[in-house]
Amino acid sequence: MTGGEGGHDALFDRAPDDRVRVLDESGALVGTPPDMSDAELVEIYRHMRLARHFDERAVTLQRQGRMGTYPPMAGQEAAQVGSAVVLDDEDWIVPSYREHAAVHVHGLSLSEILLYWMGHGAGGWGADANVFPAAVPIATQIPHTTGLAMASKLGGCGGEDGGVSGNRPQAGDAVACAYFGDGATSEGDFHEGLNMAGVFDVPAVFVCNNNGWAISVPRERQTASPTLAGKAAAYGIDGVQVDGMDPLATYRVMRAAVEKARDPDERPRPTLIEAVQYRFGAHTTADDPTVYRDESEVAAWRKRDPIPRLERFLRETGRLDDDRIDEIEADVRAQVAAAIERAEATARPDPETLFDDVYAVRTAELDRQRATMRRLRDRYGDDAFLRD
C-alpha cells in the first residue's frame, strides 16, 4: 500500500462523503490523475463512445420490435468502463442487468449481449470471458460475488479438475467484482454478502452504481444513510465515494481497491465503491421516467456527461484531435452494426428448449407444461405467440 496525496491510503482514509474526483464537469483537472499511458486514456474514451452508440442502437432495436425489453445505460459509461478496464482477464465480473459496457470491456462480445436481450439462451455469457450471467433480481449477485471471491481465496474456483471453470483463476489470483444499483443496498442480500466478505477477508470489490433512482424510488426514500459508501463501516471494510461520471476518478479508486484485494503481502480486503452517477434514459424500455422525475433534473445531470468531459481533457492535453475522433466514430458504428447483424443472423432456438434448463433434471410438471405448449403451437401456430 502507498500513502500520501496520490496513494491508496489517501483514498481509503477519507470521509464517506468526501467524493473522489479527477476531472470536473468541464474536463479540467481537479484531482490526482491515474498513472496511465496516452493510449490507455484514449482507449477508455473509445470504449465509452462504443457503449453510448451500442446503447442508442439497442433502444432502437427494441422500439422496432427486433429485441425484448432493454435497460439503457446512457450516462453510466464512465463508472463501468473506468472500473472494468482495471480488471485482469482472470478476474470475474458479476453484473446486474445494466452493465453492458463493463461486461464488454471484460470480454463479452456485443452480439452476445444483444442475444441475451433477444431472449436467446446463447446470450449473456461467453466461454472465454469471466462474466457471470446478468442478475435481474435485485442484489442476489452480491452473495454470489462473496462466494466466488472466497473460492478464489481458497483455490477452489479453478483448476483442471473442475470448479466454477476448468481453465479459470488459480488459488488466490482472481478478484471478484460485483456491480449493482443503489436500490440493492436496501436488500438483505447486500448486507449478508458484504458482512461475509468483511469477516472472511475475501478478494472482492463491490461497485454500487448509484444513479439516484431504484426504478421510480429516489435514493433518499429508500435509506436514511447519508451515503452508501458509509454503509461499509458496518462490515469493517473500506467504503469510498467517487464521481461515477468521471472515468479517471473511477479508474483511480478501482485500481486501488483491486490492488488491495489482490495484495500478496497483506491479507486481501474487500472494498465498497459508491459511484455517484445518473441514467439519462428510462429504467428500461418498459418504463416512463417522465412520471416520476423532472426534465430539469435530467438536464442538470447531462451537463456532467462523462464522454464530452473526457474528450475535452484529451483534446486539451494533445491526446485527441478531430481526425482521431472521426476514426473512433466510424469504428464504433461499424462494430455495433456488425454485432447486430451477427445477433440477428443467429438461428433461433426451438421454443420447447425453454423448459430444458430450469432444473438439472426436468420435472413432471415441466413436462406437462411443455406438452401444453406443444398443443397450443400445433393448434394456433407460432405466429399467434408473436402478436401484440
Residue 279 annotated as catalytic: yes
Contact 72, 285 (CB under 8 A): yes
Going edge to edge, which strands form the sheet with 176-181? 92-94, 176-181, 204-210, 271-276, 238-243
Residue 292 annotated as catalytic: yes
Cα separation, 175 vs 270, whole angstroms: 9
- Kindly tell me the sign of the dihedral angle through the C-alpha atoms of 77, 83, 86, 90: negative
Cα separation, 307 vs 310, whole angstroms: 5
**Annotated catalytic residue, options 292, 374, 375, 380:** 292
Residue 144 annotated as catalytic: no
Length of the chain: 388
208-230 as b/e: b if 16+ CB within 10 A: bbbbbbbeeeebeeeeeeebbbb
**Annotated catalytic residue, options 8, 49, 219, 279:** 279
**Annotated catalytic residue, options 252, 283, 304, 309:** 283
| Closest CA relative to residue 203, chosen from 130, 262, 142 | 262
Q: Any idea which residues carry the catalytic annotation?
A: 279, 283, 292
